[in-house]
Structures are given as structure tokens and as C-alpha cells.
Amino acid sequence: MLSYDWDSSPANRSKQPMFYGYLPDKASDRAVCFLSMTAFTFAHSLMQTCSCSLLAAMNMNWLLYYLGLDMLLYFMYKIAKNDFFYFINKKGLVRFFIAILHRTVTKTLANFTLFLQIRHPHEVGGLAFLFSIPYTIAGSFISIYLYSTYDGGEVELDVGTLQILLGSLCTLWFISGVTFLAFIDKTLIHTFYNADNTSEFKRKFVLHHLNNTSNPDDGKKIASLALKDHPDVYSGWADELLKPWTLKNWGRWDEEQPSWFNETWVEGVPNEYVPFKWREKYMKTGRV
């Protein structure tokens, strides 16, 4: 499972400790988490598949309403959180179409697979990810009820069997979900319901790495990645964190030439973040 692999990755845990690292270090506890993740993602996927299948069998429009309402609520939530556009540094219609495509794909993945990585603030986000769980469970019960009362054709599946199936899946989901929460690192439980948008998360990311005392050079390198994002991501807090950092250290970077201080990175830095005395030297990169 990708979620398991990514959370176990030492590189991810070092780069984003505020998100990765919920899996325990003890092998037996980690195995329990892996089995729990497999169980509740299986239950969630099957419930969603059953709901969609029953709605489509009765009336395809009902399926479209069910999926469309969920997507509409999600888009409204992202817009309200000022988090609709993706963080990559693109402009105009390209940025708009990337946002539409990416948000649709990631929300669909969350709905049908409960892929834990999707709860990242760059993607669906913790709160919207959490909402997909009761929405799917409620949709399962509603679809079975509609199927049992549908008079548009002969009911071909036994409603009692469907109810037993749904009840079993809900029980499996609840038991495996509670087990999973009991074994993971409690300091990261908030990532499963956190409402941070991309900008809020990136601020915490930068602040953590700028204050990295164990390996300050590596921390500065990672923090520099923020300036590769679209300016909308960091404009709200850049004067607090990024601008003082670049103004203070630009001369040292020019002398030491760290690996990340290259032409591509420099071109992405706003003019006002560069000390005036250094701007003429970097005009070759398009700076004025």
C-alpha cells in the first residue's frame, strides 16, 4: 500500500514530520496498523461500489446526483478555504484546468479507495477526507433503502442480504478503524481531521525547517522549496518568514553556492526578496 510505504519512508518523515510518521516503530504494532488499513479501505471501497452499483441499476441520474453533490460540496469547501488552486507555479487557464482535474481525481480517489495519503493538505485535506467516510456510509444505507422501495422494475437482489452485507462492512470498518487509531502515533491523529489549507500547512513546514537545529543546512534547503510554489501559497506569510530569511542570507548563499541556490530557484524568487545590491548580478536570470 502506497500510504504505508510513504509514511514509513525515512525521507518523508524527515521532510514532513508534521504529516508523516503515524505508523509505530515496533514491527508487531506496525503489522496491526497495516492489516487495519487494509480492512477499512476494503470495507470503504466495497460500500462505495455497492452504493454506486445500486443507484446506477435503478436510475443513472441518481448516481450522478449522489456523486455530483459530493463533488460540489467539496469544491465549495476548497473555494471557501481559499485552497481550490493547486500549489504548483502555473498561471492562467493552465492553472485553472490543473486545479479542476487534480481536485476531481483526488476526491474520487478518496471516495472510492480511502487512500490515506489524500488527506494531505496539498490534496483533499484532513477534514474533507474525514467527511467522505460518513457520506459513503450514509450513501450505502440510502441506496439500499431506495433499492428496496424502487418500483421501476423487478428487484433482482435480496434486500435482506444487502442489509447483512452492509452491516458486516460497517462493523469491519468500525473495528479496523478503531484498532488503527489505537496503534498509531497519537500526535499525528489530527492529520486525519485537520482543516489546514495548503498555505497554512506550508507555513508550518517552512517554520519547522527554518528552526531545524539538528541539521540547519538541510533544513534551509528544504525550506527553500516553498519559493518554488505559486506565490499565492506563501504571499500571506512570506514577509514574516521568507523575506527576512532571503534578505539576511543572500550574500552568504552567493558565496557558498549551495546546491539548491541555482538559476531555476533564483528565477522563482520575487524581486523584493533579493537584497538590492545583488539584483544587478542576477539580472541574467530575468530579474529587474
Amino acid at 143: S
Euclidean distance between CA atoms 197 and 148, whole angstroms: 41
Given a cut of 50, whether residue 288 has pLDDT beyond it is no
Residues in a beta bridge with 229: 88
The Cα–Cα gap between 35 and 20 comes to: 19
State which amino acid sits at residue 159.
V
Range 196-202 average pLDDT: 95
Distance between terminal CA atoms of the chain?
48
Helix/strand/coil for 229: strand
Instruction: Choose the weakest-confidence range: 100-109, 153-162, 241-250, 261-270.
Output: 153-162
Coil, strand, or helix at residue 81? coil
Q: Is a pLDDT exceeding 80 seen at residue 241?
A: yes
- What percent of the chain is predicted at pLDDT more than 90? 69
Q: Which of 83, 107, 116 is nearest to 192 (CA)?
A: 116
126 within 8 A of 193, measured Cβ to Cβ: yes
Q: Summarize the confidence of residues 202-226 as an average pLDDT.
A: 82
pLDDT tens across 119-146, in order?
999 999 999 999 999 999 999 999 999 9
pLDDT at 101 over 50: yes
- pLDDT, residue 216, reads 67
Residue 149 to residue 279: CA distance in whole angstroms? 72
The CA-based angle 76-60-124, given to 5 degrees, is: 30
- Higher-confidence residue: 183 or 258? 183
3-state helix, strand, coil in the chain (%, to 5): 75, 0, 25
State mean pLDDT over 165-180. 97
Give 72-95 pLDDT, tens digit per residue. Answer: 999 999 999 999 999 988 889 999
Q: What gap in Å lies between CA 288 and CA 282, rounded to an integer? A: 8
Model confidence band, residue 225 (pLDDT cutoffs 50, 70, 90): confident
Mean pLDDT for 22-46 is 96
pLDDT for position 287: 46
Instruction: Decide if 58 contacts 152 (C-beta within 8 A).
Output: yes
pLDDT at 22: 97
Q: In this predicted model, which residue has the larger pLDDT, 158 or 168?
A: 168
- What confidence category does residue 154 fall into, taking pLDDT thresholds of 50, 70 and 90? low
Q: How many CB atoms lie within 10 A of CB 17?
A: 14
Q: Do residues 275 and 251 make contact, with C-beta atoms less than 8 angstroms apart?
A: yes
Q: Is the whole-model pTM more than 0.85?
A: yes
The three-state secondary structure class of 140 is helix
Q: Cell numbers of 147, please? A: 433499492
pLDDT score recorded for residue 111: 95
